[in-house]
Chain A
Amino acid sequence: MIEINNTSFYYKKTNPVISNVSLNLEQGHCYGLLGKNGEGKTSLLKLMCGGLNPISGNINVQQQPMANRNADSFRQITLVPEVVLLPPVTSKSYLKMNAPFYPNFSYTNFHTMLEQFHIPTTGNLSNFSQGQQKKTAIAFGLATKTPWLLLDEPTNGLDIPSKQQFQTILSEFFNADQGVIISTHQIQDIENLIDQVLILDNQKIVFNYSLEEIENKFLFETTNALKEDAVLYHEKQGMAFNTLQKNILKTPSTINLALLFNAAINPSINLNK
């Protein structure tokens, strides 16, 4: 479990990034952390993995305070950042450098993932393309088998087939006893992966629901005739309207994450009511 307690962070005092955020995240879920550019998604992930020290509050991962920055706390969590620049070594050397620190590291999984991603096993990693370096880092992150895996914009820099491979690999190698948090602003890339939606806006988590809860709570409908009083939020698409409504009759509908996101960050709408 990740417990974030009243955590705040800023790089400059005048420009807070995270303000007094409290959040509990359970293993066995794949969380989608959504937010606009510059909203602090990366900072929140870095805070969770102990890469940043909070200004106030505290973060515990599997009951280990991340502020301790010790072996026990770092063993609970892995991060794959948005931009990855690997050292000038081969993947074999990279494994020798980093894998022994992770007691549950799966060499088999790592090699299988590299194969599925079509990453060459020879050659200098720093000479690989950004996409290839990222895929290597994702494979390494998944192979560590730490209780938590944080992926920051994992599909940025990946080509279309690689995005699909990423989805397949994550589904295949994600264990039920692990937790994954995927930060992205490219909602369509993670729609099929996540089962929980977190939306970060104005330095706070403004939305935190499972897909099941969202399905029960909201009705997503495309209609030509807009009944404004029943609609919480709508967007015009061609001649029709994509609408977000309260799901009073518990009618099943397909979740439109982009619509939900836009509604959640709209200051005049409160989806938590």
Chain B
Amino acid sequence: MLLLTHPLTLINKHMNFNNIKLLIRRYFIKDGFNVIIGMTSIWLLIIIINSLKDQAVSAIDLDFYYTAMTMLLIIGGPILTSLMFFETSESSKGYQFAILPVSIADKLFSAWFISSILYGVLFALYYYFGLIIFEVLQNMGVNFKAISYSFMPNELIQVYFLGNAFCLMGASWFKKNPIVMNMVFSTIVSILFIGSLGIIFYFIKPFGMVSSTTDAGKTLSINDNITGFTISNSTDSMLLVALLTGFFMLVAFYKLKERNI
């Protein structure tokens, strides 16, 4: 309990919402334009490819749009998160940010808010704007294929937040090449995690503690289909995600506190 309350007390003591607001504003002045330009370009590319690729069959396949946009959320978010503290990789560039009169908790929270919440909101805007465009096209007489994509917002949001928290930990940890290092690190951790789960379930399955049924129609989520077992219900998986997110944020806090310029 002490292990948990101590950092929480520290975070509470050192968090200042005015500083967080200023840090978010700082990020927008420095990188906001580039992020929006980058995201708009990718989104436009997805829309164009989606609209052109099925011209031969005269029907637009929205599955591609859903899949590509999901990738933009699940991959784009962590990439942005990985770069949140990249400024401090060189002291000549990052000294100003490193010694700004704000706390580590302020820096961490603002980075999380930008890369998880604001990026998520921006993504949602693009996503629904794309759907509006397709709706207009449909009204103009363009045909659409029946949608087979199973959109699982709960699982998607959980994976997104968990992935972002993990990458924020990596962003605090790795000064050089944070994107590559996060990819390598996440691959290793995933293999270890899935391997450990597999071993655990292999041993506890005979005792009837887990169900081995799989739902064929269900979209891939980190908890079930990978291992082939339904290990939890939605509340449990949310709790697991929340706990892991908290753990990653805690590690990120201490790594950022230790970080030298």
Contacts of A32-78 to chain B: CB distance below 8 A: 46, 49-53, 69-72, 74-75, 77-78
Q: Does A89 contact B (CB under 8 A)?
A: yes
Minimum Cβ distance to chain A for residue B246 (Å): 21
Q: Does B140 contact A (CB under 8 A)?
A: no
B90-104 toward A: CB 8 Å interface, digit per residue (1/0)? 111101101111111
Minimum Cβ distance to chain A for residue B175 (Å): 13
Which of B93, B95, B257 contacts A51 (CB under 8 A)? B95
Residues in A with CB closer than 8 Å to B100 are 74, 98, 101
Contact in complex: B30, A70 (CB < 8 Å): no
Residues in B with CB closer than 8 Å to A84 are 92, 95
Contact in complex: B260, A71 (CB < 8 Å): no
Q: Does A273 contact B (CB under 8 A)?
A: no
Residues in A with CB closer than 8 Å to B216 are none
| A74–B19 alpha-carbon span in the complex (Å) | 13
Q: Does B147 contact A (CB under 8 A)?
A: no
Contact in complex: B93, A85 (CB < 8 Å): yes
Which of B21-29, B70-78, B191-199, B227-235 faces chain A? B21-29
Residues in B with CB closer than 8 Å to A70 are 14, 103-104
On whether A74 and B92 interact (CB within 8 A), knowing A46-B261, A100-B22, the answer reads no
Q: Does B224 contact A (CB under 8 A)?
A: no
On whether A87 and B99 interact (CB within 8 A), knowing A71-B19, A100-B22, A101-B22, the answer reads no
Minimum Cβ distance to chain A for residue B64 (Å): 35
Q: Does A264 contact B (CB under 8 A)?
A: no
Q: Does B258 contact A (CB under 8 A)?
A: yes
Residues in A with CB closer than 8 Å to B96 are 98
| A81–B258 alpha-carbon span in the complex (Å) | 20
Residues in A with CB closer than 8 Å to B99 are 49-51, 74, 77-79
Contact in complex: B29, A96 (CB < 8 Å): yes
Minimum Cβ distance to chain B for residue A71 (Å): 5
Contact in complex: B30, A89 (CB < 8 Å): yes
| A110–B93 alpha-carbon span in the complex (Å) | 20
Q: Does A102 contact B (CB under 8 A)?
A: yes
Q: Does A21 contact B (CB under 8 A)?
A: no
Contact in complex: A83, B92 (CB < 8 Å): yes
Residues in A with CB closer than 8 Å to B258 are 53
Contact in complex: B101, A71 (CB < 8 Å): yes
Closest to B98 in A: A51
Minimum Cβ distance to chain B for residue A62 (Å): 12
Minimum Cβ distance to chain A for residue B7 (Å): 14
Q: Does A251 contact B (CB under 8 A)?
A: no
Closest to A51 in B: B261
Q: Does B16 contact A (CB under 8 A)?
A: yes
Contact in complex: B103, A98 (CB < 8 Å): no
Contacts of A163-211 to chain B: CB distance below 8 A: none
Minimum Cβ distance to chain B for residue A148 (Å): 11
Q: Does A97 contact B (CB under 8 A)?
A: yes
Residues in B with CB closer than 8 Å to A223 are none
| A53–B93 alpha-carbon span in the complex (Å) | 19
Residues in A with CB closer than 8 Å to B19 are 71, 101
Q: Which 9 pairs from chain A and chain B are nearest by CB?
A: A75-B101, A74-B101, A83-B92, A51-B261, A70-B103, A85-B92, A97-B26, A85-B93, A52-B260
Enumerate chain A interface residues (CB-CB to B < 8 A).
46, 49-53, 69-72, 74-75, 77-79, 81, 83-85, 87, 89, 93, 96-98, 100-102
A-B contact pairs, 5 of them (CB 8 A): A71-B106, A78-B99, A85-B92, A96-B25, A97-B30
Enumerate chain B interface residues (CB-CB to A < 8 A).
14, 16, 19, 22, 25-26, 29-30, 90-93, 95-96, 98-104, 106, 257-258, 260-261
